[in-house]
Amino acid sequence: MEQKKFKTEVSELLQLIIHSLYSNKEIFLRELVSNSSDALDKLKYLSLTDEKLKGFSFEPRIDISFAEGEKRTLTIMDNGLGMDHEDLTNNLGTIASSGTKKFLASLTDEQKKDSNLIGQFGVGFYSAFMVAEKVEVLSRKAGQDAAFKWSSTGKGTYTLEEATRDAQGTTIILYLNEEGNEYANRWQIEQLVKKYSDHIAYPIFLSYDQESVDDKKKDKEGNPLKTVEHKVEQINNSSALWRKSKTEITPEEYNEFYKSASYDSQDPLFYVHTKAEGSIEYTTLFYVPEKAPFDMNYADYRPGVKLFVKRVYITDDDKELLPTYLRFVRGIIDSEDLPLNVSREILQQNRVMSAIRNASVKKLLSEFQKISEQNPEMYAKFIEQYNRPLKEGLYSDYANRDALLELVRFKSSSEEGYVSLASYKERMGSEQKSIYYITGGKEATLKASPLLEAYRKKGFEVLVMSDDIDDIVVGSIGTYKELPLKAINKSGAVDDLKGDDEPQEKSKESKKLVKKIKKALGDKVKDVVVSSRLVESPAVVVVDENDPSVQMQQMLKSMGQADFEDAKPILEVNVDDPMVKKIEESEDDAYVADLCSVLLDQALLAEGVMPKDPVAFTKKLHSLLSR
């Protein structure tokens, strides 16, 4: 017998589950039945495709039994693929996904109490410890003779030893604790299976002893004779829900299927069920979770769509089934036309799979659009969670860019909440010829930017783009319905605000001032120009039309692009501001140098960018204030 320690993150996960999900402890049965179903899926697939297991004959089933009395137990057994020594160690002793590790590390104490939040990732096998003081797993892998027993109390260690089992599959025995005693009960088990696992594609049987009284037969004392009959009954529907007609499925059944398939404790935000017939036949059932999956923004996110061929499970680990920007979608693709032995490499180039994928993307985007028009309240919830990945589609899915442009939303300088490009266009005045936006930094910082002053004064709305990917995304759009998109923190948007009424005299004086500031700042700036859009602020920084924004430059550096050269900002100055006038009037070169340096650093701070030398900035500011 081997005794091993759980990996640190498993111990953390166990504590989290036991203490945080207690109010919803009944989900343990859903999780264990789902694991059994997965094991049956895998063996069914391998018996058709794996040379070693081809022709392997078995009748897939899941059996549940319980023992009452002083020591109550609950047993879940399947005849699926099973696990060997290595599988038991890897599957029950560690957490494979680094995304889950990051998620656990990021939770605050308050969030750890939120069962809905924790329910976003599958608690799987470990949920058994919410209702059991000890768990034993007896398993034998298909095609192998050896069986092994895994045992643990969930308190930091587990044991592994050789055992015997008549056939392939896994048996899980829960030695129920006080909180779990209620589940050694026929009625409870039937209710939970109906609630969570009725759709499982394999029969689930419940074994129990039923006592009956026969009045016609008497014992020696003349009392009616009691008999105990052992019964085995199927307690689930065992049909693939997605294969049914939409009219046969209730909203409750759709929701429970989602919860079981995705390990989410909440109902989905909405679902899309499609059956396609014709040259290519397939069925899809897609769900959008109410809350974004915890690993959605991790590079090693877990895909949420399972692929079946003629109801035979193929894979749930293929990121090619839907484009990356739809990685939050959960559900099923079931094809009638793919070969059962299709490999991941073939999948990526398969004509049938490509057609299903393209049609599925169009169907999903069409459904999103329909919801945005017919149910704005639901769409607002959707955008709150999934606006960012949809924006990724703007530069990664050119074929569907037009559809995506109608779906993405932005904050605005003049409207509450999120706005669409279409609604922005409707609000434009006749004199406005471009769609204006500002990127980089947090929403509050952008809305307070001095750059907005003149646009507000002219009545021009500005889109506020505070997502870290907005700089990349919007640059790839170019135009929307023939209207150019112009960044007001770039030099190109200023021409729209210029007038022809600037006095010649003022222009001459301004040239002298610009020359003076340029000399003082030297190579800290690319250029100094007189602003035609500042009203109250002394100066603002913008970048050249073809340069990345100041915030984008910072992001590139933080991503490790050490060789990235800074694109110097352009300083726009308000010649009517008192501070700028002091620069114009002073003949003290040192004083002018300090004023110009502080002017630039203040402009950077207003855009949410820290000056390169904060200590020097504060010293100069103190010196100027002292004067």
Q: pLDDT digits over 462-480, tens only?
A: 999 988 888 888 878 889 9
SS3 call for 234: strand
For helices 376-396 and 470-477, the axis angle rounded to 10 degrees is 80
In 460-573 the beta strands, taken as DSSP E runs, fall at 462-465, 479-480, 483-487, 527-530, 539-542, 570-573
From edge to edge, which strands make up the β-sheet containing 483-487? 411-412, 462-465, 435-439, 483-487, 479-480
CATH tag, 2-234:
3.30.565.10
Distance of CA 405 to CAs 181, 399, 420, 480, Å?
A: 55, 12, 8, 8
For domain 241-376, give the CATH number: 3.30.230.80
CA distance 188 to 452: 62
What per-residue confidence (pLDDT) applies to 121? Answer: 46
Neighbours of 59 (CB within 10 A): 7
- 3-state DSSP assignment of residue 222: coil
Please give the full DSSP string across 42-68, using - where no structure is assigned: HHHHHHHH-TTTTT------EEEEEE-
Q: Which of 581, 605, 613 is nearest to 595 (CA)?
A: 581
Q: For residue 100, what pLDDT is reported?
A: 59
In the prediction, which pLDDT does 115 show? 45
**What per-residue confidence (pLDDT) applies to 9?**
72
Q: Tally the residues of the chain.
A: 627
- Cα distances (angstroms) measured from residue 290 to each of 23, 37, 137, 330: 20, 25, 34, 11
**Residues lower than pLDDT 50 in the chain:** 96, 115-122, 500, 502-505, 562
Instruction: Give the Cα separation of 30 and 196 in Å (integer).
Output: 6
408-497: CATH number = 3.40.50.11260
Nearest alpha carbon to residue 77 among 47, 44, 119, 35 = 35
Q: What is the pLDDT of residue 117?
A: 45
Q: Do 369 and 403 touch, CB atoms closer than 8 A? A: yes
Place of tokens 């260690």: 157
What is the CA 334 to chain-centroid distance, rounded?
Answer: 23
Contact 118, 21 (CB under 8 A): yes
Domain ranges of the chain: 2-234, 241-376, 408-497, 504-626
Give the separation between CA 114 and CA 17, rounded to whole angstroms: 11
pTM (predicted TM-score): 0.71
The superfamily in CATH containing domain 504-626 is Heat shock protein 90, C-terminal domain (1.20.120.790)
**CA 27 to CA 31: how far, in whole Å?**
6
Given the DSSP bridges, would you call strands 435-439 and 483-487 parallel, antiparallel or unpaired?
Answer: parallel
